Amino acid sequence: MKIGIIFGGRSKEREISFAGGRTVYDNLNKSFFEPVPLFVDSFGNLVLLNWEFIYKGSIRDFYPPVDYLPTSQHEFQIYLESMG
């Protein structure tokens, strides 16, 4: 049975939700359930996520995708809403 794990969100607490989603995934009995990771970005958009991304250090490490960011002299990712 598929079960959605929703994490992230519009709140500034989205990093805590991100960590909570990882904890749920780690402790879910996968012999009974097939977890489906659903990330909610800071604009409220639902993003189907690959599980490899939940083991990144923070949301900024995978979202927004680098391909969507403007060219910058800085070598770090930002939160999408910071782009204006």
User: Where do the structural domains in the chain lie, given as residue ranges?
Assistant: 2-83
Beta 2-8 vs 46-48: how paired, if at all? unpaired
Residue 43: its pLDDT value, please? 86
User: Amino acid identity, residue 57?
Assistant: G
Residue range 19-44: mean pLDDT, rounded: 95
Q: Could you tell me which residue, 79 or 1, shows the higher pLDDT?
A: 1
pLDDT of 6 higher than 80: yes
* Integer Cα distance of 26 and 67 in angstroms: 29
Architecture per CATH, domain 2-83, reads as 3-Layer(aba) Sandwich (3.40)
Q: Which two tokens stand for residue 37?
A: 């990771």
Q: Which of 60, 54, 45, 49 is nearest to 25 (CA)?
A: 54
* Integer Cα distance of 34 and 41 in angstroms: 22
Residue range 50-56: mean pLDDT, rounded: 90
Under the banding of pLDDT at 50, 70 and 90, the label for residue 81 is low
The answer to whether the predicted template modeling score (pTM) of the entire model surpasses 0.75 is no
